[in-house]
Amino acid sequence: MRLFIALAILVLLNIACTPDSQTTQNSPEEAAKGIFEALKVEDFETAQLYGTKSTQKALLEFATNLKMSNAEEKEALIAPYKMEISKVTCAEKNGTMICKLCCNPEFDVELTMVQQDDKWFAQMDFPY
């Protein structure tokens, strides 16, 4: 009986200590879609997980700017990220991975993607 309890405790500890992966970044397509899905719902903390260090800093500043903006300004700043993504295609151009997100009727969206430690991250700038 003690063996069974000890085994059960070990299993629970193993489950509790296993890192919970909040993002899927195994491909540039997954990371590109992930950051835009987070931005669409204004979840800047999750969006930061998909961004490079400079993107994380820019996101923090963007989120702060949104808090200080009136409703009309905020809507204008966040509008480009509210698009529905139906397709993401990535290809290497001149040594850089570029992902095109479809479909925004007003303009094409291209993201530069960076791979670090087998994960993909978006490199983005934000309007202030």
pLDDT tens-digit map of 16-72: 443 344 667 999 999 999 999 999 999 999 999 999 999 999 999 999 999 999 999
Q: Is the pTM of this model over 0.85?
A: no
> DSSP secondary-structure letter at 103?
-
CATH of the domain at 97: 3.10.450
User: Could you tell me which of 11, 26, 36 has the C-alpha nearest to residue 87?
Assistant: 36
Q: Supply the range of the domain harboring residue 85.
A: 24-123
Average per-residue pLDDT for the chain: 83
**How many structural domains does the chain have?**
1
Q: Is residue 87 part of a domain?
A: yes
pLDDT in tens, 77-106: 998 888 888 889 999 988 899 999 987 667
Report residue 8's pLDDT band, with 50, 70 and 90 as the boundaries.
very low
- Tokens representing 99 are 């992902």
Q: Is residue 16 part of a domain?
A: no
Residues 6+ apart with CB under 8 A from 27: 90, 120
Q: Is residue 15 part of a domain?
A: no
Q: In angstroms, rounded to a whole number, what is the distance separating the alpha carbons of residues 120 and 81?
A: 19
CA geometry: angle 67, 70, 74, nearest 5 deg: 70
Q: Is residue 66 part of a domain?
A: yes
Considering only the C-alpha atoms of the chain, give the largest distance between any 2 of them, rounded to a whole number of Å: 67
Q: Is residue 32 part of a domain?
A: yes
